[in-house]
Structures are given as C-alpha cells and as structure tokens.
Amino acid sequence: MLKKSKLLAGAMLAAFSLAIPAHAADVKEVQMLHWWTSGGEAAALATLKDYLAKEGYTWKDVPIAGGGGSAAMTTLKAMVAAGNPPTASQILGYYALDYAKAGKLNNLNELATKEHWADVIPKALQKFAVTDGNWDAVPVNIHSVNWLWINKAVMDKIGATEPKNFDEFIAMLDKAKKAGVIPLALGGQPWQEATMFDSVVMSTGGPDFYKKAFVDLDPAALKSDTMKKAFDNLAKLRDYVDPNYAGRDWNLATAMVIKGDALVQVMGDWAKGEFSVAKKTAGTDFMCYRFPGTDGSVIYNADMFAMFQVPADRRGAQLALADATMSPAVQSAFNVIKGSVPARMDVPDTAFDLCGKKGIADVKKADAAGTFVGSMAQNYAQPPAVATAYTDVVTKFFHGQIKTSDAAVTELVKAIDAAK
C-alpha cells in the first residue's frame, strides 16, 4: 500500500507540475486548488470565476474530489514541497495556520487595512486568517454543521414536526422507518460520521460541555458520563441508516433526501447547495432545522483561501482574488448558492432564502452569546492531528469496531492524548 501511495502521489505531483507553470508569463490568471466538485459547490464557485472574468482574469482549476478535503491537502502539500504552489488553495482552519507559521503564505495586510476586514469578520475566524498580525488567508464563507435537512413531503406524509430534542428526533426517525422510508441518509465516510457526532455531543451536553471537551480538551469532560451518553446516542442513529451507507459520498446522501428516498440528512449547510441546484425551495420542498438540542448554538467551519508565496508576476492575480473573495457582492452571490453564510457580517440577507436568513441570524446571535464554536471534525476546534484522532475513534465506533460507549470514551481519551 505504501508503494502504491508513493506512486500515486508522484503521478499526481507530475500532473500538477505540468498543469501549473512555475513561472507563468505575466498573464492575468488565477490558479485555485479546491475540492468543490459537487453540483452545488461548482455552481457557487462559478460566481467567483465570473466576477474575476469581468476584471479580466482567467481561471485555472485544480480540483481534487473528496468532500472532507483530505485528498486536496495531500496534493497541496506535495505542490508546496516541490516549490510549485497554486495562487491560492481552499483550506480549513489549522491547515492555514500551519502554512502561515512555516512562512509559505503571502501578506495581505495592505488590502485588509484598506478594506477594513478586521471590522467585518468575526474574531473567531480571524484566528485562522491572521498570523502574527499578518493577514494571509481570506474566508469566503461561514458554514455550520449542526443542521437537519428534511424532505418536507415525506415529513408531512408521516405526520412529523420539527424535533426539539434528541428523543423527539428518534421518534421522528421511527415514524419514517415504520412508513418504509429510509429515516437517515448518511454517507458512511469517517469525516461525515465525525461531523454528525459534533452535533450529537452538543445536543447531549450543551455548548459549555462541547467547549470543555473539544476546545479545551478537558480530561474530565472527555471521559465523562455525558460523553458516554453522546456515544450511546450516536449508536441509536446507526439503527436508522440503510444497509448501503458505507462509503457513500455526502452529496449522494443529500440526493436521497431531495428525491424523497430518505427523510433527513445531518450535514453541514453545504447540503443546501444541492437542493438549490435541484431547483428545490426551502419551506416548500425541504426544511432546515438546527440539530435537536443545539438551537442557539453554531458549530462552525469556514472555507478559506490561503494565499501562497508566488512569483511577482502572479502576485497581482492573487490580490485580485483576495479582493474579489471579500467583496460583498461575491460574499452574497457565492453563499446564496453554496448554502453557507457570508464571512462578512455586514452583508445583508436580502438575497437569501429562509434557511440562509436563519443561518445569518444564528451566526450573529451565537457569536454574541459565546456559543459560536469550532467543529472538531472540520479542523476548527483542534489541529489536524487531534481532529484525525477524534474522527478515527468515532468512525470505528459507528462501524462496530469499538463495541461499547465505555470503550469509545477510553479510546477517545487515549487517541487525543497521543495526538496532542
């Protein structure tokens, strides 16, 4: 397997070395590495491409499929190591910090000061976009993971209403199961299961417990009875997925809900982009609720563009990309399609549907209340090593390799301690 992985990595690196010239002529071209390959994601990205095209810039895609972004980060690491980075890369929290601390990113301070970014971006996101006082990444959105996406026709058919707590959620899933509908659409991939567990932990213990366990890594919280109960609740959800869930991509699980083959998906708000591309309307065709027991809190992650050190003749295109990304027009147009909400808090919600309006309001309320907290699964609560350890334990438990909640808690503490 190691030999095969090395060969694959070498082939990928060779391909991208050909695709991205290290010293491109002074053309107005933006080179972007990303993992936005689903229909909704691609449609959202097109808004940024179109904006830059009007400014005279061409776009060179470096797309790497894989909803969690791990494959993209492997490719990016190889490109940077070869001295051939893209103009920018889609990136998540702690990965951006790692590249900034390694001196691989460019300084955007002049543009950031001119455009007053510090006044409009939540401080929680600035932690990942600013390193040692220097802006070196720009957030294009704020996602949150504690959402339910429900097919309204199926919900009406089974006589269900919005579940307000975990027990009501289970009761709703039981109704769907009894009606012969797949209750819970899930892609059995580690990042999806861990992302769902973020919401389960918040629902089980509340925002203060979530912060103690995942932001503070408090040993007492990690090994507590509350954490055991969270694993118990996760085990209950395992009874409502279909037999073919393992390995399914997240957007295919979303499609199950869109088609009415399944009632509900627990997923970040990028799922809404798939409903939008399918021409479905919030409130009419589908419903968006916070995961039961988490209303008032936002478990967030954000897509950022890390700006890598590039030759001088590519710097102008890089600054144009940063400026376009942070423009209110792009922040609105992009996020209306993507399902997320703007990273800028001054963008009006006029163009957004009811889910988008709720998302924007929720972020503002949670940010003010101190319940705007990073997703463990999505690399915004802890660095990648800890997040990976967490994900590994959760997926092993969900797939039955770890048999009990007691054992899961023991393994979680052990894995996180080793990863610190």
State the pLDDT at residue 3. Answer: 37
The CA distance from 56 to 106, in Å, is 22
- DSSP for residue 184: E
Provide the pairing of β-strand 182-185 with 262-266. parallel
- DSSP for residue 213: I
Are 96 and 134 in contact by the 8 Å Cβ rule? The answer is no
State the pLDDT at residue 8. Answer: 39
Q: What type of residue is 30? A: V
In 272-294, which positions are buried (b, 16+ CB within 10 angstroms) versus exposed (e)?
A: bbbbbbeebebeeebbbbbbbbb
CATH 3.40.190.10 positions along the chain are: 2-142+301-367, 144-300+376-419
302-331 pLDDT tens trace: 999 999 999 999 999 999 999 999 999 999
Tokens for 32? 């972007």
Instruction: Give the mean pLDDT per block of 10 residues along the chain (420 residues).
Output: 39 40 62 93 94 95 85 95 94 94 96 96 95 96 98 98 98 98 96 98 98 98 98 98 96 98 97 94 98 97 96 94 97 96 97 97 96 96 96 97 98 97
Are 305 and 129 in contact by the 8 Å Cβ rule? The answer is no
Nearest to 150 by CA among 187, 182, 196, 194: 182
Tokens for 341? 């909400």
State the pLDDT at residue 25. Answer: 52
Are 146 and 288 in contact by the 8 Å Cβ rule? The answer is no
Q: Measuring CA to CA, how many Å separate 24 from each of 246, 298, 315?
A: 43, 42, 11
Q: What type of residue is 199? A: S
State the pLDDT at residue 68. Answer: 73
The CA distance from 334 to 332, in Å, is 6
**Radius of gyration in angstroms for the set of CA atoms belonging to the chain, rounded to a whole number:** 21
Local structure of 1: helix, strand or coil:
coil
The CA distance from 343 to 332, in Å, is 10
The vertex-287 CA angle with 66 and 263, nearest 5°, equals: 70
CATH number of 144-300+376-419: 3.40.190.10
Are 87 and 324 in contact by the 8 Å Cβ rule? The answer is no
Provide the pairing of β-strand 134-135 with 130-131. antiparallel
State the pLDDT at residue 26. Answer: 61
182-217 pLDDT tens trace: 999 999 999 999 999 999 999 999 999 999 999 999
Are 363 and 372 in contact by the 8 Å Cβ rule? The answer is yes
State the pLDDT at residue 352. Answer: 97
Provide the pairing of β-strand 147-151 with 134-135. unpaired
Local structure of 266: helix, strand or coil:
strand
- DSSP for residue 267: -
First to last CA, the chain: 27
Q: Quote the CATH superfamily of domain 2-142+301-367.
A: Periplasmic binding protein-like II (3.40.190.10)
Long-range contacts of 17-24 (CB under 8 A, 24+ apart): 17/82, 17/84, 19/60, 19/62, 20/60, 20/62, 20/79, 20/84, 20/86, 22/83, 22/84, 22/311, 23/311, 23/313, 24/311, 24/313, 24/314
The CA distance from 35 to 91, in Å, is 9
With residue 289 as reference, give the H or E element that holds it: strand 286-290
- DSSP for residue 291: P
